[in-house]
């Protein structure tokens, strides 16, 4: 296996799928000549030409609409939005059209479209550009929502998303693009709807997605080194459909759970995890589920304040010890 960055893994998945299927094309702002705001589409315009790597005007509603129309006509668009915050301009197209067309057309038409977009804070991009809104989309029947953390997962899930017959909301994270990891050399894809145990443990389950999986892994190592606590790290990886079996089985083994998300906890992903565990693993819990999330304020510009808002390893360790106590 070769070591690649998250960005390189995404680029590789796009290239391979564009070679595999001539119906796959990319559309978004600056995806062509500028090679992507985060260089994910680097080199693809030169390789595949402007018909398959299309620079779009600054109109998220038009980009989403073009993608939906193309998908209904038999193509497989990969729509890139510069950040998840900008998807709000196109939320009517995503939620009221892309997610519902298969149902409203009685299954006669589908929308095999991927929406790629990064979220997250920590880059001093202020309140309107640092949000985590994936739970909004995971709330919508008809949309599949995935949030890979490793380069290998990013490549495998993106390939699966492009091949899927329905719209997939593919969440990235600004802080992950330069992270590195091993990526298999052979052809592979990762099934949408599967969670992953990133670290085995016996005392407590740390349940996270996207960038917060890395925070949970660091917290698990600290708990082992400083407290002798064996923490299992569950990467949700797919928010819709949700792999309830893997999550519930982990907590049945450890009897304790902490959820970790970068977004706000009120009506968040952690709340869904807590409800799931109360419903399906209540008799196995030795303590209430503790939720760790971002402070419930708009993201500050100041770097020290931004650090204080985003969940830290210290906060996860503290929550875990509180649950175990």
Catalytic sites, residue numbers: 60, 129
Give the end-to-end CA distance of the chain in Å, rounded to a whole number: 42
H or E element in which residue 233 lies:
strand 231-235
Q: Answer for the pair 43, 80: CB distance below 8 angstroms, yes or no.
A: no
User: What size, in residues, is the chain?
Assistant: 325
Rounded to whole angstroms, the Cα distance separating 127 from 242 reads 29
Our measurement of the distance from residue 183's CA atom to the centroid of its chain's CA atoms, rounded to an integer in Å, reads 18
| DSSP secondary structure string for all residues of 265-320 | STTSHHHHHHHHHHHHSGGG-SSPPEEEEE-SSPPPSSHHHHHHHS--HHHHHHHH
């Amino acid at each position: 296996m070769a070591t690649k960055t998250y960005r390189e893994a995404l680029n590789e998945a796009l290239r391979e799928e564009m070679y595999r299927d001539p119906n796959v094309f990319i559309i978004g702002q600056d995806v062509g000549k500028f090679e992507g705001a985060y260089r994910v589409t680097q080199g693809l315009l030169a390789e595949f030409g402007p018909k398959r790597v299309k620079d779009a005007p600054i109109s998220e509603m038009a980009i989403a609409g073009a993608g939906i129309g193309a998908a209904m006509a038999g193509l497989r668009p990969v729509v890139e939005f510069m950040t998840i915050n900008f998807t709000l301009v196109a939320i009517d197209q995503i939620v009221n059209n892309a997610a519902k067309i298969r149902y409203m057309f009685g299954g006669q038409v589908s929308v095999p479209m991927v929406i790629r977009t990064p979220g997250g804070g920590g880059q001093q991009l202020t309140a309107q550009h640092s949000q985590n809104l994936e739970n909004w989309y995971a709330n919508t029947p008809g949309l599949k929502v995935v949030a890979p953390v490793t380069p290998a997962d990013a490549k495998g899930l993106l390939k699966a998303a492009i091949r899927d017959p329905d719209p997939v909301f593919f969440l990235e994270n600004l802080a992950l693009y330069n992270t590195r990891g091993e990526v298999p050399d052979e052809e592979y894809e990762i099934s949408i709807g599967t969670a992953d145990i990133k670290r085995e443990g016996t005392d407590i389950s740390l349940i996270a997605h996207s960038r917060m999986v890395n925070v949970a892994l660091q917290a698990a190592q600290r708990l082992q080194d400083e407290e002798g606590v064996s923490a299992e790290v569950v990467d949700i990886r797919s928010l819709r459909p949700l792999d309830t079996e893997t999550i519930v089985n982990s907590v049945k083994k450890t009897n304790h759970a902490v959820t970790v998300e970068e977004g706000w906890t009120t009506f968040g992903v952690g709340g869904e995890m807590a409800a799931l565990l109360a419903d399906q693993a209540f008799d196995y819990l030795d303590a209430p589920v503790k939720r760790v999330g971002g402070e419930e304020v708009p993201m500050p510009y100041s770097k020290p304040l931004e650090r204080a808002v985003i969940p830290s390893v210290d906060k996860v360790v503290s929550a875990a010890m509180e649950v175990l106590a």
